[in-house]
Amino acid sequence: MSDTRRAERREQILNAAWSCFQREGLHATTMDDIISASGLSSGAVYGYFPSKEALILAAVTVSLSGIRDLLDPLLKRDPLPPPETLLCEITSTIERFTERDGFDLKRIALLGWSEAQRNPQLRATMRGFYMAFRDKLAQAGRTWAETGLISPQSSSDDVSKALLAVILGFVVQAALLGDVAPAAIGVGVAQLSLFSQPSSRSRRSGRGQTPVREKK
Amino acid sequence: MSDTRRAERREQILNAAWSCFQREGLHATTMDDIISASGLSSGAVYGYFPSKEALILAAVTVSLSGIRDLLDPLLKRDPLPPPETLLCEITSTIERFTERDGFDLKRIALLGWSEAQRNPQLRATMRGFYMAFRDKLAQAGRTWAETGLISPQSSSDDVSKALLAVILGFVVQAALLGDVAPAAIGVGVAQLSLFSQPSSRSRRSGRGQTPVREKK
Amino acid sequence: MSDTRRAERREQILNAAWSCFQREGLHATTMDDIISASGLSSGAVYGYFPSKEALILAAVTVSLSGIRDLLDPLLKRDPLPPPETLLCEITSTIERFTERDGFDLKRIALLGWSEAQRNPQLRATMRGFYMAFRDKLAQAGRTWAETGLISPQSSSDDVSKALLAVILGFVVQAALLGDVAPAAIGVGVAQLSLFSQPSSRSRRSGRGQTPVREKK
Amino acid sequence: MSDTRRAERREQILNAAWSCFQREGLHATTMDDIISASGLSSGAVYGYFPSKEALILAAVTVSLSGIRDLLDPLLKRDPLPPPETLLCEITSTIERFTERDGFDLKRIALLGWSEAQRNPQLRATMRGFYMAFRDKLAQAGRTWAETGLISPQSSSDDVSKALLAVILGFVVQAALLGDVAPAAIGVGVAQLSLFSQPSSRSRRSGRGQTPVREKK
DNA sequence: GATGAATGAGTCTTCATTCAT
DNA sequence: AATGAATGAAGACTCATTCAT
């Protein structure tokens, strides 16, 4: 059997799995659900994925790759758009990913995060993905600092954490509340800080109860 | 049996449930796990909660109330601290909630969001909570606009969505990557937009691919 | 639930298991077979034995204890009957064990030996049992040598191995061919060696191909 | 395809089967195990053996033939060695069969006996083999009686049963306990009866509990 | 009210066998 | 003849829930 055919079958199964996972959640989906949806026999499915866990891992990994392939080009542009614009583009891309394939990436992400709590391999995969993504955001932060779009004193580490938080938070909020347009987030972030004081002052604003954060 | 005694028992069971849920996840936790952890008999537990689903719902609801009781006072102050400060206080409070009770609210949140995908009642409860919380954030946004801390033209709706995104995103990122100090997020957000142009201009920065967002 | 009641249930399940094992063999017997035969539900059976393997181990162990309790008294008598008589008594006892309980110990033994090949725990249990039994046979050999019933130069080790072989061989032969009366074996052994030369000569009879055996 | 080629393939498959059976047991060995070990495809294996059961039967039959080809010459000699010597030769031959081919005939025998309990065809094959072998032992018994090596009054039937028991018992004991040198058994049997009284007396020694055996 | 033994439908997974290529 | 992907009927085991004591 050709590699192409095998890859096709794997995708066929993975697609079936995703549509079930999305409808029922990761655990409430039974292998029989996936098997029926895939149109194959149980034995055939197990010939491609050795266990339900492997199927979940593969499904998450493939989703992660898919979204990375869409997001990476946005971050590699020269010149890089300013923060608010980039943010809008990222959230819009996430939103469009959903619309195109019929899979709601946002809901899927929530399922994966939950599962990662108790599946070490999945957790490792996810950590790897998000860490790498945040590194790219940090690079963007440095680029902005160099080109004067944000303060030259800014910490690329903090900036990347804030950016990632905003993006992940968009995903959660959109999945749970469903009334968040992709552009709203970028706009809101911009408005939020327009009149903020210089960050040197912010640093001092930490109160006793605020854990001291490591300087990078 | 007195109401007090009943309430005590319910809390005892709920605590047992949380510690199991946190360790194993919602689905991997069996009723026997909870029953053993609670120190009661299965019959007794079922005397207080009619089903596992009810137990999950109650557990989530209680957590949500707990965190609301902690966050509400922060939002009701007069004068209200500026955005970055407030953000730091909120993330710090979430972090401290974990430390104090031994329950990691962040991991728990992830479990709840996942479950809400397929449990309508849980979803409704969560929507209610987050909607109400976002309303309070919108109110804060209006206060800031009135007091000149942010632009008077800002949309309190966008601001509240951005704020909620940042907070939820902090939760996800901290749960998954574990290297995010509460203050880092607020600081990063502030640095992100320090030199941003007025939001009227931001609006125009959207490119073709960015869906036009509905004005509220 | 009282210990007595628990023990009763265990025996009820073990009896069901044995009647299935005997009919179908260890592996061809399904848990459902045993569950149906026991009159309990699957959950109940699993409440007493955590796995099929545990059930097999328990079943074999109980059989082994049963036969030991019957055989031990025969070996502890004073005065000890001569070899042939003892052999007949042992084989007869094995035969009667079958008749009384409706379980054919001989067939059961064959199943257990086979399973012991790939189940380390079962193998260890069996080794322990047969080693202990052979030790008692060796003791009998020493007693006979002391009382002049066999040669004073005889090796109790060899004698015990020969005795055990005869007994186990009776079990196999009776199970497979079914036409071996318990007494036939003892009689046959006696006739076999009646005119044998002194064992000093036997020692020399080993041919090149015969592995040299350790002297004890 | 030539008959020679077919026979070669069959042997190749049978060898693969034996090495799997020996390692895993009859039931725990899957057809895939055998197929992999044989280096052929599943379709090919099924071209030579119509089912797993047929493969087991063929494997056992071949083993039985192999050991018969080795043992028969020992029994057809003229003059026939005395009992103890013959016994040692037989056990040594069984032991050597193992060493030469890398297959432990003793472990294999245990598997086959167990399987014969529930496979009528296998049982019939085995009965045939052991009955025929015992007949040859009975013939040896008659020869010994004629040549004065054992009592002329001895029952060739009883003698053959005793001999077979000793041989089968050696197999079991060696497989389970592993510390039995082939010669030990013959020596032990000889020592066991050295000073026994004439068998006419033995007959009377049966006690109440010893079932009276049918005279043949 | 409390207990915890019992229930049994449902889950994941295996594996002997077939058959289109 | 050979291949090996596909089949699908079991099989072992789990676990939310009940109910007799």
Which pLDDT value is given to residue A152?
Answer: 87
| C99/D187: higher pLDDT | D187
pLDDT in tens, D12-37: 999 999 999 999 999 999 999 999 99
How large a percentage of chain C has pLDDT more than 90? 74
Tokens at C34, concatenated: 């045993």
Model confidence at A88, pLDDT cuts 50, 70, 90, reads very high
SS (H, E, C) B157-194: HHHHHHHHHHHHHHHHHHHHCCCCCHHHHHHHHHHHHC
Every domain of chain D with CATH number 1.10.357.10 lies at 57-193
Residue contact C150–D96, C-beta within 8 A: no
Burial label, A7 (beta-carbon count in 10 A; 0-12, 13-18, 19+): exposed
Among C111, C163, C168, beta carbon nearest to D117: C111
| D122/B195: higher pLDDT | D122
* Average pLDDT of chain A to the nearest whole number: 87
How large a percentage of chain B has pLDDT more than 90? 72
Minimum Cα–Cα distance from A129: chain B residue? B177
Which pLDDT value is given to residue C100?
Answer: 66
SS (H, E, C) chain D: CCHHHHHHHHHHHHHHHHHHHHHHCCCCCCHHHHHHHHCCCHHHHHHHCCCHHHHHHHHHHHHHHHHHHHHHHHHCCCCCCCHHHHHHHHHHHHHHHHHHHCCCHHHHHHHHHHHHCCCHHHHHHHHHHHHHHHHHHHHHHHHHHHCCCCCCCCCHHHHHHHHHHHHHHHHHHHHHCCCCCHHHHHHHHHHHHCCCCCHHHHHHHCCCCCCCCCCC
CATH T-level assignment (fold) for domain B59-192: Tetracycline Repressor; domain 2 (1.10.357)
Note whether A83 and A144 are within 8 A (CB): yes
Q: CATH classification of D57-193 is 1.10.620.20, yes or no?
A: no
Helix (H, G, I), strand (E, B) or coil at B152: coil
Interface of B with A in 95-124 (CB under 8 A): 95-96, 107, 110-111, 113-118, 123
How large a percentage of chain B has pLDDT more than 70? 88
DSSP H helix total and E strand total for chain B: 10, 0
| D3/D59: higher pLDDT | D59
Peptide bond into A79 cis (omega under 30): yes
Minimum Cα–Cα distance from B181: chain A residue? A213
Note whether A87 and A167 are within 8 A (CB): yes
| C-alpha distance from B109 to closest chain A C-alpha (Å) | 9
Question: Selecting from 3.40.630.30, 2.40.50.140, 3.40.190.10, 1.10.10.60, what CATH number does the domain C1-50 have?
Answer: 1.10.10.60
Report how far residue A107's alpha carbon sits from residue A109's, in angstroms, rounded to the nearest whole number.
5
Q: Is the CB of B44 under 7 A from strand E?
A: yes
* Mutation to test the C interface, candidates D151, D187, D201, D214, most C Cβ within 10 Å: D187
* Distances C2 to B29, C5, C41 between C-alpha atoms, Å: 30, 5, 20
CB atoms within 10 A of CB A53: 14
* Distances D154 to C152, D138, D149, D215 between C-alpha atoms, Å: 26, 11, 11, 12
Indicate whether D166 pLDDT > 70: yes
pLDDT in tens, C151-160: 888 899 999 9
pLDDT in tens, B177-188: 999 999 999 999
Which pLDDT value is given to residue D18?
Answer: 92
Every domain of chain A with CATH number 1.10.357.10 lies at 60-195
At D119, which amino acid appears?
Answer: N
- Which nucleotide is closest to the Cα of A30 by its C1'? E11
Indicate whether A199 pLDDT > 50: no
Sign of CA dihedral C131, C135, C140, C145: positive
D160 touches chain C (CB under 8 A): yes
Model confidence at A100, pLDDT cuts 50, 70, 90, reads low
Note whether A186 and B202 are within 8 A (CB): yes
Residues of B in Cβ contact (< 8 Å) with A26 = 27, 114
Q: What is the CATH number of domain C57-194?
A: 1.10.357.10
pLDDT in tens, B4-55: 888 999 999 999 999 999 999 999 999 999 999 999 999 999 999 999 999 9
Indicate whether A203 pLDDT > 90: no
Q: Per mean pLDDT, which range of A29-38, C199-208, D162-171 is the poorest?
A: C199-208
Tokens at A206, concatenated: 């930490």
At the top level of CATH, which class does the domain A60-195 belong to?
mainly alpha
Which pLDDT value is given to residue A10?
Answer: 95
Which pLDDT value is given to residue C192?
Answer: 82
| Length reported for chain B | 216
Tokens at D55, concatenated: 């493969």
Residues of A in Cβ contact (< 8 Å) with B212 = 183
Query: Strand E within 7 Å of which CB atoms in A 15-54?
Result: 29-32, 35, 42-43, 46, 50-53
Every domain of chain A with CATH number 1.10.10.60 lies at 1-50
* Distances C108 to B198, C119, C125, D173, D187 between C-alpha atoms, Å: 88, 16, 15, 16, 30
Residue contact B114–A114, C-beta within 8 A: yes
Report how far residue B14's alpha carbon sits from residue B58's, in angstroms, rounded to the nearest whole number.
8
Report how far residue C12's alpha carbon sits from residue C9's, in angstroms, rounded to the nearest whole number.
5
Note whether C106 and C45 are within 8 A (CB): no
CB atoms within 10 A of CB C146: 10
CB atoms within 10 A of CB A123: 16
Within 8 A by CB and 6+ apart from D173, the residues are C130, C161, C164, C165, C168, D180
Every domain of chain C with CATH number 1.10.357.10 lies at 57-194
Which pLDDT value is given to residue A196?
Answer: 42
Model confidence at D57, pLDDT cuts 50, 70, 90, reads very high
Residue contact A114–B111, C-beta within 8 A: yes
A62 touches chain B (CB under 8 A): no
* Average pLDDT of chain D to the nearest whole number: 87
Residues of D in Cβ contact (< 8 Å) with C83 = 192-193, 196
Nearest CA among A137, A129, A70 for reference residue A99? A70
Question: Could you say which residues of chain C have pLDDT below 70?
Answer: 100-101, 193-216
Indicate whether A204 pLDDT > 70: no
Which pLDDT value is given to residue C19?
Answer: 93
Indicate whether A35 pLDDT > 90: yes
Minimum Cα–Cα distance from A164: chain B residue? B169
Please name the residue that has the structure tokens 């120190």: B39
Distance of A87 CA from E18 C1′ (whole Å): 56
Query: Strand E within 7 Å of which CB atoms in A 81-120?
Result: none
| B119/B201: higher pLDDT | B119
